[in-house]
Amino acid sequence: MKLCVALDMPSRDENLALVRELSGLDVWLKVGLRSFLRDGAGILSKIKDLGGFKIFLDLKLHDIPNTMADAAEVIAGLNVDMITLHASAGERAMSEVMSRLNALPRRPLVLAVSALTSFKADEFSAVYNDSVENAVRKFSLSAHRAGVDGMVCSVFESAMIKMATSKDFLTLTPGIRPFGENANDQSRVADLSVAKRENSDFIVIGRPIYEAQNPREVAKKILAQI
């Protein structure tokens, strides 16, 4: 299991200060849409320069197949290690992205977003006309057939997804409160023992680390546990 720290701080400087603080630790760093739009692609090389971290660029692509594949190819050129797309863009779109990326000498891991965890059950069925559980299973099967490397999902869906696809199909799970701390706005949170039990491959943690008095110590404590 790998720890991925979300760089969700309000400014570029605060994110970079956090990166410096984590230098030398075996963590991945997640750059999201806000930071990428505000700070530009230069933020990625800056982060790499600060400590050779693996970068997860979470832009959640969702468009027609050719446009997604074009975008994925550009992102692959940014030297990042993991990217995301929406499974609801469809199996053909995911396949087209994967065949384009597989033709490159080196490509990032690609994860598909199943159901956004912010959806309440009734909101979800209003959009997808399905239950979250059914949809996550269907999205996972289609992403697996399309050659995607794994899913972004709730920790409570991780084991089910692997069972339905393959144990090697990766899962990345946000909503982790490593030692049972404040859930903030997350609704279904889990601690490290649950993430381990559910075989999550990547856990994404933001606030429990960057809002701590000493983020480096918290990150080290998490790494020691996993």
| Positions marked catalytic | 60
| Degrees, nearest 5: CA angle 115-120-126 | 80
**Residue closest to ligand C5P, measured at CB:** 206
Stretch that binds ligand C5P, among 75-83, 89-97, 204-212, 213-221 (CB under 6 A): 204-212
Nearer to ligand C5P, 96 or 161 (CB): 161
Among 204, 218, 219, 222, binds ligand C5P (CB under 6 A): 204
The length of the chain in residues reads 226
Each residue 160-189 as x (binds ligand C5P by CB under 6 A) or -, in order, gives --------------xx--------x-x---
| Smallest distance, ligand C5P to C-beta of residue 68, A | 19
Each residue 102-141 as x (binds ligand C5P by CB under 6 A) or -, in order, gives --------------xx------------------------
| Smallest distance, ligand C5P to C-beta of residue 192, A | 13
SS (H, E, C) the chain: CEEEEECCCCCHHHHHHHHHHCCCCCEEEEEEHHHHHHHCCHHHHHHHHCCCCEEEEEEEECCCHHHHHHHHHHHHCCCCCEEEEEHHHCHHHHHHHHHHHHCCCCCCEEEEECCCCCCCHHHHHHHHCCCHHHHHHHHHHHHHHCCCCEEECCHHHHHHHHHHCCCCCEEEECCECCCCCCCCCCCCCECHHHHHHCCCCEEEECHHHHCCCCHHHHHHHHHHHC
Rounded-to-integer distance, Cα 77 and Cα 42, Å:
13
Nearer to ligand C5P, 96 or 153 (CB): 153
Under rule CB under 6 A, residue 207 binds ligand C5P? yes
| Smallest distance, ligand C5P to C-beta of residue 168, A | 22
Under rule CB under 6 A, residue 32 binds ligand C5P? yes
Under rule CB under 6 A, residue 150 binds ligand C5P? no
Q: Which residues bind ligand C5P (CB under 6 A)?
A: 6, 8, 32, 116-117, 152, 174-175, 184, 186, 204-208
